[in-house]
Amino acid sequence: MNKSTLTISLDFELLWGIFDKVGTRFRPEYFSNTRKIIPLMLEKFAKNRIEVTWATVGMLFAENEEEWKEYSPKYIPSYRNKSFSAYEWAKQNGIRPEVHFAPELIRQILDTPGQELGSHTFAHYYTLMRGQSPEQFRQDLMATQRISKEKFGVSLESLVFPRNHINEHYHVICLEEGYKYVRGNPKNWYWQETQNENLAKKLFRSADCFFSIGDRTSYKQVEIQAYPGEPLVIPASRILRPLNKDNRLMNSLRLNRIKREMELTANLGEIYHLWWHPHNFGNDPEQSLLELDEVINHYLELRDKYGMESLHMKNLGEKVKPLLVMT
């Protein structure tokens, strides 16, 4: 039987990830908490030898507004709805370094054993929104690689599409720009075509975090998609949703669901891909970190009992690639 694997990928965004949802109504302490939490997460991961892919918005790499402008691509996304554009938002509302830049945290990620620096595109790019083009997407990926190589000496190989807007037509571009591994969505119908949201999808996705509704989300190594000229698609299994400060029962149900899925994964010798946003811990940092401890401790039990291993996206991809048949 194959050794089971826990894969964790984090969508590191700060305000670039939610500007189009919250506008200027964000709470500064939410992101200041996030900045304090990330070093604590890194310490926990390193202590317990847990590998993590940090899919990071490229704009966070910049030191200041001048450098941000220097590395921004010439051809920016021309969304029909300009409210989706990070560039338009910055033009209208200005730049605030404490919520828009984080090079010191990126350095900490790179300095921590077992951590992979990945990409969440340069400008939190939405590949399925009308108006943008393949060439604009390519320019965005090139900008991220450029700032990563020139500032940190790292070529990025793993990519997570913002908002899980997975445009399969763009996979070839991803590989051409150096991205060998991308995160896919769970196979259940309510995770497909996330740009076309409706109430049913939202309800089913929310309910599935607490109760077993859809198909099993762990998977075998051979189920990872492999097509010539495209990156490997490593599906997600479960999002660790934000803590609900007012509902301890729902918090317990949600966390126990993840732990049961991890146990089943270990029994079956499969892959379980957990993900979340670091800023999800910003509302209740102390309790959120205690929940992370529960997940880590459960993994350690499964490692000792079943030999479960921790691999970030790149290392998982390199492990399974020789086993896959290109279709």
- Residues 277 and 54: their CA atoms lie apart, in Å, by 10
Q: Which CATH class is domain 5-323?
A: alpha beta
Q: What is the gyration radius of the CA atoms in the chain, in angstroms?
A: 19
Closest to 121 in 3D by CA, of 69, 86, 169, 152: 86
What does the pLDDT read at residue 245?
Answer: 77
What does the pLDDT read at residue 215?
Answer: 67
Angstrom CA distances, 248 to 179, 245, 252, stand at 40, 7, 6
Contact 211, 253 (CB under 8 A): yes
What does the pLDDT read at residue 94?
Answer: 95
What does the pLDDT read at residue 189?
Answer: 40
**Which residue blocks in 112-227 are alpha helix, DSSP H?**
134-152, 171-176, 199-208
- Residues of the chain whose pLDDT is less than 70? 1, 188-215, 325-327
What does the pLDDT read at residue 70?
Answer: 97
- Residues 39 and 285: their CA atoms lie apart, in Å, by 12
pTM of this prediction exceeds 0.75: yes
60 φ/ψ angles, rounded to the nearest 5 degrees: -65, -20
Burial of 285 (0-12, 13-18, 19+ CB in 10 A): middle
Residue the block writes with tokens 């969440």? 120
- Residues 288 and 282: their CA atoms lie apart, in Å, by 8
Domains of the chain, by residue range, sit at: 5-323
Give the containing element (helix H, strand E) for 260: helix 248-268
Dihedral sign of CA atoms 118, 124, 130, 132 in order? negative
